[in-house]
Chains A and B, each alone.
Chain A
Amino acid sequence: MTASRLLHLRFFAVLREQAGVSTLAVTTSARTPAELYAELVVSRGLTLPAALLRIAINDRYATMDTPLSPGDRVVFIPPVAGG
């Protein structure tokens, strides 16, 4: 079975408002950002389609299927357009 790992999450813009926090430490068995986001949709009530988000892992943009490692810092960024 997949081991649980501690991840440090950060939410931006509308995702921050939906999550109710800027940062969050979670222990999860999710192996990828896609699996992690699916958990967050349930646990924090996030509503944006995963396909329209940007993900960064350890200060570098990554994809929804990038493997996660213990201690990773994961950032979720929605489309932002105000000007």
Chain B
Amino acid sequence: MFELTDQPIDATARRAQLARPDAGACVVFEGWVRNHHAGKPVSRLEYEAFDELARLEGEAITAEAEQEHPGCTVLCVHRTGSLGIGELAVWIGVVSPHRHAAFLACRQVIEEIKRRLPVWKKEHHSGNLAEWVNCTAESVAGRLAPENYYARQASLPEVGVTGQARLAEASVLVVGAGGLGCPAALYLATSGVGRLTLADAGKVEVSNLHRQILFTADDVGAAKATVAAARLRAQNPLVKIEAHASDVTPTNVRALVTGRTAVLDCTDNFATRFLLHDACRSAGVPLVSAAVYRFEGELNVFAPHQTGCLHCLWAGKPALSLEAVANCAGDPVFAPTVGLLGVMQAAETLKLILGLSTHADLSSTRLVNLLDASTQSLERPADPSCPVCAKVVSSSAAEAASFSLHPLNDSVVLTAEQLALLGPVQTIALLESGESLDAAAAPENTIAIAMADLGRLRELAARGPAVLTCRHGLRSVALARLLRAEGLPGIHALAGALSAIRPAR
């Protein structure tokens, strides 16, 4: 539950509101107005919210926390209006049967509120000076600007601003948060994959800790997906991390893989591997699959429309009989083997998103043996009798190699160069309180409107293709996504900030 209020928050009443007979823990976070900021004294604060978006986003944040931490009930109340020193600006309460989940959920809600909630604060300093501070800009764009976070990666010629924008647009599902999934997800998150979902029904066990590097001794007993998601959010607050703390089943697999840029098979069994493979194939999503045995591992990238699929590899052998002879949970594992294979999965996934995959990447099995440091690549030809591949055997290698993950028009975030390729598009500059547009430095015929004027924005967006820009390049992306969700497909956001927007003051 989420509320915005211009009245003082009654913490005692809010706490009582959460009372539940089965709750064994209540974790409360209170955000107070303090008398200083960035070295300057502050005498009081004024909060202004982008109401409609703030309520939607606040509800989404609390609902996500309840979903990811089963058993938790979350209430978050955020103030607007004028607040004095020591007053409550935000109150978050989480009750749950056990304390571990309540602590995690509470921490998650405040971090997401700081990151995503469209709230601004005006700081009043002594001597009648006042300035508006964008809370999101302060916590994210200021402290953790994407251009700084990814500086050493985006400067690779193979990545660049365009590649970084593609990564931010990507949505990747990692199935299995174990020895493979932990390192794979870690590198996908730090590389800036915009949306990452971790699926695992398991709980952290002591015997996992030697190789499942996202977990610490304190996490034993907690849900793997939930703990891993919290760890990754701390590692990179710029990306969206979701936890699916239950099994992938024939019932939910379609919904989980549809619309993904790629899926990673980090599972330890053939049943889930075949399930994911078939769902990905039918949804047209590439599957990056790995498996290990002690010091050895194998990696396969199965791209849609590519022949040489998982069924070709196993020529109709049933998963059950493979399971019977394959290694399984409880078998010995040399930790660096899963580490290496998981990192290779991350690398192949990033290459898919960046358009760097070679034909061999998509049509070979890579074998690695850490005992003698050897690698081998085996070509995966199509099995002419494969029931899955038979109908696509005629597609040429060239067609398969040139398959495109991101037709320009489907991409929300575009660079200025990509926009030029699209033809005439209306530029809309979204201004926060006090900001102004330097028309001479902006693209021709740019229309400037207030960020909070959602009505005017919808009206302009309905007229035809448009690109949204703002001073930090963050909220413009959020609004472009919102408009697309409302059925306006021609709406894009400019990658990065628009320098023609002058800051407040």
Residues of A within 8 A of B169 (CB): none
Q: Which of A35-68 contact B (CB under 8 A)?
A: 48-49, 51-52, 54, 56, 59-61, 63
Q: Which of B298-341 contact A (CB under 8 A)?
A: 298, 308, 312-315, 317, 321-323, 325-328, 331, 333, 338
Inter-chain CA distance A13–B374, complex, in Å, is 13
The answer on a CB contact under 8 Å between B379 and A83 is no
Task: Given A13-B294, A54-B313, answer yes or no on A79-B338 (Cβ-Cβ < 8 Å).
Answer: no
The answer on a CB contact under 8 Å between A56 and B327 is no
The answer on a CB contact under 8 Å between A83 and B325 is no
Is A5 among interface residues, defined by CB-CB distance under 8 A?
A: no
Residues of A within 8 A of B377 (CB): 59
Shortest CB distance A19–B (Å): 13
Q: Mark B92-122, 1 if CB is under 8 A from A, else 0.
A: 0000000000000000000000000000000
The answer on a CB contact under 8 Å between B326 and A80 is yes
Shortest CB distance B287–A (Å): 14
Inter-chain CA distance A59–B179, complex, in Å, is 28
Residues of B within 8 A of A13 (CB): 293-294, 296, 327
The answer on a CB contact under 8 Å between B327 and A77 is no
Task: Given A12-B296, A12-B367, A13-B294, answer yes or no on A81-B379 (Cβ-Cβ < 8 Å).
Answer: no
Q: How many interface residues does A have (CB within 8 Å)? A: 24
Residues of A within 8 A of B371 (CB): 22
Greatest chain B CB density within 10 A among A12, A14, A79 is at A79
Q: Which A residue sits closest to B369, measured CB to CB?
A: A22
Q: Which A residue sits closest to B371, measured CB to CB?
A: A22
Inter-chain CA distance A16–B365, complex, in Å, is 18
Q: Which A residue sits closest to B291, measured CB to CB?
A: A80
Residues of B within 8 A of A22 (CB): 369, 371-372, 374
Q: Which B residue sits closest to A10, measured CB to CB?
A: B376
The answer on a CB contact under 8 Å between A80 and B315 is no
Task: Given A59-B377, A60-B379, A61-B379, answer yes or no on A79-B322 (Cβ-Cβ < 8 Å).
Answer: yes
Is B286 among interface residues, defined by CB-CB distance under 8 A?
A: no
Shortest CB distance B145–A (Å): 36
Residues of A within 8 A of B379 (CB): 59-61
The answer on a CB contact under 8 Å between B378 and A83 is no
Shortest CB distance B200–A (Å): 11
Task: Given A16-B296, A78-B326, A83-B292, answer yes or no on A56-B269 (Cβ-Cβ < 8 Å).
Answer: no
The answer on a CB contact under 8 Å between A79 and B325 is yes
Q: Mark B324-363, 1 if CB is under 8 A from A, else 0.
A: 0111100101000010000000000000000000000000
Residues of A within 8 A of B326 (CB): 78-81
Contact of B327 among A49, A51, A82 (CB under 8 A): A82
Is B176 among interface residues, defined by CB-CB distance under 8 A?
A: yes
Contact of B180 among A51, A52, A77, A83 (CB under 8 A): A83
Inter-chain CA distance A81–B325, complex, in Å, is 10
Is B270 among interface residues, defined by CB-CB distance under 8 A?
A: yes
Is A75 among interface residues, defined by CB-CB distance under 8 A?
A: yes
Is B225 among interface residues, defined by CB-CB distance under 8 A?
A: no
Q: Mark B409-423, 1 if CB is under 8 A from A, else 0.
A: 000000000000000
Inter-chain CA distance A33–B279, complex, in Å, is 33
The answer on a CB contact under 8 Å between A52 and B321 is yes
Inter-chain CA distance A52–B324, complex, in Å, is 10
Inter-chain CA distance A36–B179, complex, in Å, is 35
Inter-chain CA distance A6–B314, complex, in Å, is 27
Q: Mark B391-409, 1 if CB is under 8 A from A, else 0.
A: 0000000000000000000
Q: Which A residue sits closest to B364, measured CB to CB?
A: A59
Shortest CB distance A22–B (Å): 6
List 21 interface pairs A-B (beta carbons < 8 Å), by A numbering.
Answer: A12-B298, A52-B317, A59-B377, A59-B378, A61-B312, A61-B378, A75-B378, A77-B298, A79-B326, A80-B298, A80-B327, A81-B328, A82-B291, A82-B292, A82-B293, A82-B328, A83-B178, A83-B266, A83-B268, A83-B291, A83-B292
| B contact residues vs A (CB 8 Å cutoff) | 176, 178-181, 266-270, 273, 290-294, 296-298, 308, 312-315, 317, 321-323, 325-328, 331, 333, 338, 365, 367, 369, 371-372, 374, 376-381
**Which 7 A-B residue pairs are closest in the complex by CB-CB distance?**
A13-B293, A81-B326, A83-B268, A79-B326, A79-B322, A60-B379, A80-B291
Known: A52-B317, A59-B376, A81-B268; 4 extra A-B contacts, CB below 8 A, are A80-B296, A80-B297, A82-B179, A83-B290
| A contact residues vs B (CB 8 Å cutoff) | 10, 12-14, 16, 22, 48-49, 51-52, 54, 56, 59-61, 63, 75, 77-83
